[in-house]
Protein backbone atom coordinates (compact mmCIF):
# COMPACT_ATOMS: atom_id res chain seq x y z
CA UNK A 1 0.00 0.00 0.00
CA UNK A 2 1.23 3.50 -0.82
CA UNK A 3 0.42 6.29 1.59
CA UNK A 4 0.40 10.05 1.15
CA UNK A 5 3.54 12.10 1.54
CA UNK A 6 3.86 12.75 5.24
CA UNK A 7 6.19 14.61 7.59
CA UNK A 8 9.83 15.38 6.93
CA UNK A 9 12.44 12.82 7.91
CA UNK A 10 15.21 13.90 10.29
CA UNK A 11 17.38 14.70 7.26
CA UNK A 12 14.72 17.11 5.96
CA UNK A 13 13.50 14.90 3.10
CA UNK A 14 9.69 14.48 2.69
CA UNK A 15 8.60 10.95 3.47
CA UNK A 16 5.95 8.50 2.31
CA UNK A 17 4.86 5.22 3.91
CA UNK A 18 4.90 2.16 1.62
CA UNK A 19 3.86 -1.18 3.08
CA UNK A 20 4.58 0.12 6.56
CA UNK A 21 8.07 1.41 5.73
CA UNK A 22 9.08 5.06 5.53
CA UNK A 23 10.72 6.25 2.33
CA UNK A 24 12.24 9.58 1.35
CA UNK A 25 10.61 11.31 -1.61
CA UNK A 26 12.62 13.15 -4.24
CA UNK A 27 11.29 16.06 -6.24
CA UNK A 28 11.11 13.87 -9.36
CA UNK A 29 8.69 11.40 -7.84
CA UNK A 30 11.40 8.89 -6.89
CA UNK A 31 11.36 7.31 -3.43
CA UNK A 32 14.57 6.19 -1.78
CA UNK A 33 15.48 3.65 0.88
CA UNK A 34 18.84 2.02 1.61
CA UNK A 35 20.43 3.17 -1.64
CA UNK A 36 17.68 1.90 -3.96
CA UNK A 37 15.10 3.92 -5.82
CA UNK A 38 11.45 3.39 -6.66
CA UNK A 39 9.21 5.40 -8.95
CA UNK A 40 6.36 7.06 -7.07
CA UNK A 41 3.29 8.03 -9.06
CA UNK A 42 2.15 11.51 -8.12
CA UNK A 43 -1.52 12.62 -8.44
CA UNK A 44 -0.52 15.28 -10.97
CA UNK A 45 0.37 12.51 -13.44
CA UNK A 46 -3.24 11.28 -13.45
CA UNK A 47 -4.48 14.82 -14.01
CA UNK A 48 -1.99 15.28 -16.84
CA UNK A 49 -3.49 12.25 -18.59
CA UNK A 50 -6.97 13.65 -18.08
CA UNK A 51 -6.09 17.14 -19.28
CA UNK A 52 -4.14 15.66 -22.17
CA UNK A 53 -7.29 13.81 -23.19
CA UNK A 54 -9.33 17.03 -22.98
CA UNK A 55 -6.80 18.93 -25.11
CA UNK A 56 -6.64 16.09 -27.65
CA UNK A 57 -10.44 16.07 -27.76
CA UNK A 58 -10.51 19.81 -28.47
CA UNK A 59 -7.89 19.50 -31.22
CA UNK A 60 -9.57 16.53 -32.92
CA UNK A 61 -13.00 18.19 -32.55
CA UNK A 62 -11.78 21.25 -34.46
CA UNK A 63 -10.31 19.01 -37.14
CA UNK A 64 -13.39 16.80 -37.44
CA UNK A 65 -15.71 19.81 -37.52
CA UNK A 66 -14.09 20.71 -40.83
CA UNK A 67 -15.23 17.46 -42.45
CA UNK A 68 -16.22 16.09 -44.92
CA UNK A 69 -13.01 16.55 -46.86
CA UNK A 70 -13.16 16.93 -50.66
CA UNK A 71 -11.21 14.50 -52.81
CA UNK A 72 -10.02 16.76 -55.64
CA UNK A 73 -6.75 18.66 -55.34
CA UNK A 74 -8.08 22.15 -56.13
CA UNK A 75 -11.04 21.63 -53.82
CA UNK A 76 -8.62 20.59 -51.07
CA UNK A 77 -6.68 23.84 -51.46
CA UNK A 78 -9.94 25.76 -51.02
CA UNK A 79 -10.87 23.51 -48.05
CA UNK A 80 -7.62 24.34 -46.29
CA UNK A 81 -7.96 28.05 -47.07
CA UNK A 82 -11.52 28.24 -45.70
CA UNK A 83 -10.64 26.42 -42.47
CA UNK A 84 -7.15 27.82 -41.93
CA UNK A 85 -7.88 29.43 -38.54
CA UNK A 86 -9.70 26.32 -37.35
CA UNK A 87 -6.89 24.02 -38.44
CA UNK A 88 -4.32 26.33 -36.90
CA UNK A 89 -5.97 26.21 -33.48
CA UNK A 90 -6.30 22.44 -33.76
CA UNK A 91 -2.58 22.19 -34.47
CA UNK A 92 -1.56 24.43 -31.56
CA UNK A 93 -3.78 22.62 -29.05
CA UNK A 94 -2.59 19.21 -30.24
CA UNK A 95 1.01 20.07 -29.33
CA UNK A 96 0.10 20.61 -25.67
CA UNK A 97 -2.10 17.51 -25.73
CA UNK A 98 0.81 15.30 -26.80
CA UNK A 99 3.09 16.78 -24.12
CA UNK A 100 0.47 16.31 -21.37
CA UNK A 101 -0.42 12.76 -22.43
CA UNK A 102 3.23 11.75 -22.71
CA UNK A 103 4.19 13.17 -19.33
CA UNK A 104 1.10 11.75 -17.66
CA UNK A 105 1.66 8.28 -19.13
CA UNK A 106 5.31 8.28 -18.11
CA UNK A 107 4.48 9.08 -14.50
CA UNK A 108 1.14 7.36 -14.00
CA UNK A 109 1.89 4.06 -15.69
CA UNK A 110 5.63 3.65 -15.06
CA UNK A 111 5.16 1.72 -11.82
CA UNK A 112 3.43 -1.18 -13.60
CA UNK A 113 6.58 -2.29 -15.39
CA UNK A 114 7.78 -4.91 -12.96
CA UNK A 115 4.45 -6.71 -13.08
CA UNK A 116 5.67 -8.13 -16.42
CA UNK A 117 2.09 -8.15 -17.63
CA UNK A 118 1.63 -8.62 -21.36
CA UNK A 119 -1.56 -6.54 -21.24
CA UNK A 120 0.25 -3.61 -19.64
CA UNK A 121 3.14 -3.86 -22.11
CA UNK A 122 0.69 -3.85 -25.03
CA UNK A 123 -1.18 -0.91 -23.53
CA UNK A 124 1.97 1.13 -23.00
CA UNK A 125 3.38 0.43 -26.48
CA UNK A 126 0.06 1.18 -28.21
CA UNK A 127 -0.21 4.44 -26.25
CA UNK A 128 3.24 5.45 -27.50
CA UNK A 129 2.22 4.53 -31.06
CA UNK A 130 -0.84 6.76 -30.67
CA UNK A 131 1.25 9.68 -29.43
CA UNK A 132 3.73 9.34 -32.30
CA UNK A 133 0.77 9.29 -34.70
CA UNK A 134 -0.53 12.51 -33.18
CA UNK A 135 2.90 14.04 -33.75
CA UNK A 136 2.57 13.17 -37.44
CA UNK A 137 -0.84 14.89 -37.48
CA UNK A 138 0.76 17.88 -35.76
CA UNK A 139 3.49 18.15 -38.40
CA UNK A 140 1.19 17.63 -41.39
CA UNK A 141 -1.46 20.14 -40.28
CA UNK A 142 1.27 22.59 -39.29
CA UNK A 143 2.71 22.51 -42.80
CA UNK A 144 -0.75 23.05 -44.27
CA UNK A 145 -1.48 26.21 -42.30
CA UNK A 146 1.93 27.80 -41.69
CA UNK A 147 3.75 29.34 -44.68
CA UNK A 148 7.29 28.13 -43.97
CA UNK A 149 9.61 30.62 -45.74
CA UNK A 150 6.69 31.52 -47.99
CA UNK A 151 6.98 28.22 -49.86
CA UNK A 152 3.75 27.65 -51.77
CA UNK A 153 2.14 24.22 -51.76
CA UNK A 154 0.85 22.66 -54.95
CA UNK A 155 -2.53 20.93 -55.05
CA UNK A 156 -0.80 17.54 -55.09
CA UNK A 157 1.24 18.34 -51.97
CA UNK A 158 -1.87 19.61 -50.16
CA UNK A 159 -3.66 16.37 -51.08
CA UNK A 160 -0.72 14.37 -49.71
CA UNK A 161 -0.61 16.31 -46.42
CA UNK A 162 -4.37 16.00 -45.89
CA UNK A 163 -4.16 12.27 -46.59
CA UNK A 164 -1.29 11.91 -44.10
CA UNK A 165 -3.25 13.90 -41.51
CA UNK A 166 -6.28 11.66 -41.52
CA UNK A 167 -4.22 8.51 -42.03
CA UNK A 168 -2.18 9.28 -38.92
CA UNK A 169 -5.36 10.16 -37.00
CA UNK A 170 -6.76 6.78 -38.05
CA UNK A 171 -3.67 5.06 -36.62
CA UNK A 172 -3.82 7.11 -33.40
CA UNK A 173 -7.45 6.16 -32.72
CA UNK A 174 -6.76 2.48 -33.39
CA UNK A 175 -3.77 2.61 -31.02
CA UNK A 176 -5.81 4.33 -28.30
CA UNK A 177 -8.49 1.65 -28.69
CA UNK A 178 -5.89 -1.05 -28.03
CA UNK A 179 -4.54 0.95 -25.07
CA UNK A 180 -7.99 1.25 -23.54
CA UNK A 181 -8.86 -2.44 -23.79
CA UNK A 182 -5.42 -3.55 -22.58
CA UNK A 183 -5.22 -1.26 -19.56
CA UNK A 184 -8.80 -1.57 -18.35
CA UNK A 185 -8.15 -5.28 -17.78
CA UNK A 186 -5.41 -4.25 -15.35
CA UNK A 187 -7.85 -2.76 -12.83
CA UNK A 188 -7.77 -4.94 -9.71
CA UNK A 189 -10.87 -6.95 -8.73
CA UNK A 190 -13.38 -4.82 -6.93
CA UNK A 191 -16.33 -2.51 -7.53
CA UNK A 192 -14.43 -0.49 -10.16
CA UNK A 193 -13.34 -3.43 -12.31
CA UNK A 194 -16.40 -4.15 -14.45
CA UNK A 195 -17.63 -0.56 -14.87
CA UNK A 196 -14.14 0.44 -16.01
CA UNK A 197 -13.88 -2.57 -18.31
CA UNK A 198 -17.28 -1.92 -19.90
CA UNK A 199 -16.49 1.77 -20.32
CA UNK A 200 -13.12 0.91 -21.83
CA UNK A 201 -14.56 -1.56 -24.35
CA UNK A 202 -17.30 0.92 -25.31
CA UNK A 203 -14.84 3.75 -25.87
CA UNK A 204 -12.47 1.43 -27.77
CA UNK A 205 -15.29 0.33 -30.09
CA UNK A 206 -16.18 3.97 -30.75
CA UNK A 207 -12.54 4.75 -31.51
CA UNK A 208 -12.32 1.88 -34.01
CA UNK A 209 -15.48 3.05 -35.78
CA UNK A 210 -14.34 6.67 -35.66
CA UNK A 211 -10.92 5.86 -37.06
CA UNK A 212 -12.49 5.88 -40.53
CA UNK A 213 -13.76 9.49 -40.68
CA UNK A 214 -14.10 9.29 -44.47
CA UNK A 215 -16.80 6.65 -44.00
CA UNK A 216 -18.67 8.09 -41.00
CA UNK A 217 -20.86 11.22 -40.72
CA UNK A 218 -19.55 14.41 -39.16
CA UNK A 219 -21.70 14.05 -36.02
CA UNK A 220 -20.13 10.67 -35.27
CA UNK A 221 -16.62 12.03 -35.82
CA UNK A 222 -17.37 14.85 -33.38
CA UNK A 223 -18.70 12.35 -30.83
CA UNK A 224 -15.49 10.34 -31.06
CA UNK A 225 -13.50 13.52 -30.48
CA UNK A 226 -15.51 14.24 -27.32
CA UNK A 227 -14.90 10.68 -26.09
CA UNK A 228 -11.16 11.40 -26.14
CA UNK A 229 -11.68 13.63 -23.09
CA UNK A 230 -13.31 10.83 -21.11
CA UNK A 231 -10.66 8.41 -22.36
CA UNK A 232 -7.85 10.45 -20.81
CA UNK A 233 -9.49 10.52 -17.40
CA UNK A 234 -10.34 6.81 -17.64
CA UNK A 235 -6.71 5.86 -18.32
CA UNK A 236 -5.57 8.16 -15.52
CA UNK A 237 -8.04 6.61 -13.08
CA UNK A 238 -6.79 3.07 -13.69
CA UNK A 239 -3.73 3.60 -11.50
CA UNK A 240 -5.84 5.04 -8.68
CA UNK A 241 -8.00 1.91 -8.80
CA UNK A 242 -4.99 -0.39 -8.73
CA UNK A 243 -3.20 -1.54 -5.58
CA UNK A 244 -0.01 -2.77 -7.20
CA UNK A 245 3.48 -2.82 -5.75
CA UNK A 246 5.93 -0.16 -6.86
CA UNK A 247 8.90 -1.29 -8.96
CA UNK A 248 12.47 -1.15 -7.83
CA UNK A 249 15.46 0.04 -9.86
CA UNK A 250 19.08 0.65 -9.01
CA UNK A 251 19.85 4.28 -8.28
CA UNK A 252 22.38 5.95 -10.52
Please tell me the pTM assigned to this model: 0.76
What is the pLDDT, as a whole number, of residue 110?
Answer: 60
Burial per residue of 117-139, b for 16 or more beta-carbon CB atoms within 10 angstroms, e otherwise: beebebbbebbebbbebbbbbbe
Does residue 172 contact residue 213 with C-beta atoms inside 8 Å? no
Does residue 207 contact residue 241 with C-beta atoms inside 8 Å? no
Strand order in the sheet with 30-33: 2-8, 14-18, 21-25, 30-33, 36-39, 248-250
Q: Which residues of the chain have pLDDT under 50?
A: 1-9, 11-39, 112-114, 188, 243-252
Tell me the domain boundaries of the chain: 2-39, 43-241
Amino acid sequence: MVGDVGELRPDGVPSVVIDGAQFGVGGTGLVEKAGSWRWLRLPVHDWLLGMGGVLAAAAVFLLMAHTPVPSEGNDLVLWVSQGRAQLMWSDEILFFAVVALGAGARGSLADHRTRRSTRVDVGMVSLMVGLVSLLVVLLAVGRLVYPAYGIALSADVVALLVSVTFGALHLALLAFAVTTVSLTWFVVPGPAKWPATIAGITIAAAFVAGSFPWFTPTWWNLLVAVLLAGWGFLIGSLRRSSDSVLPTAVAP
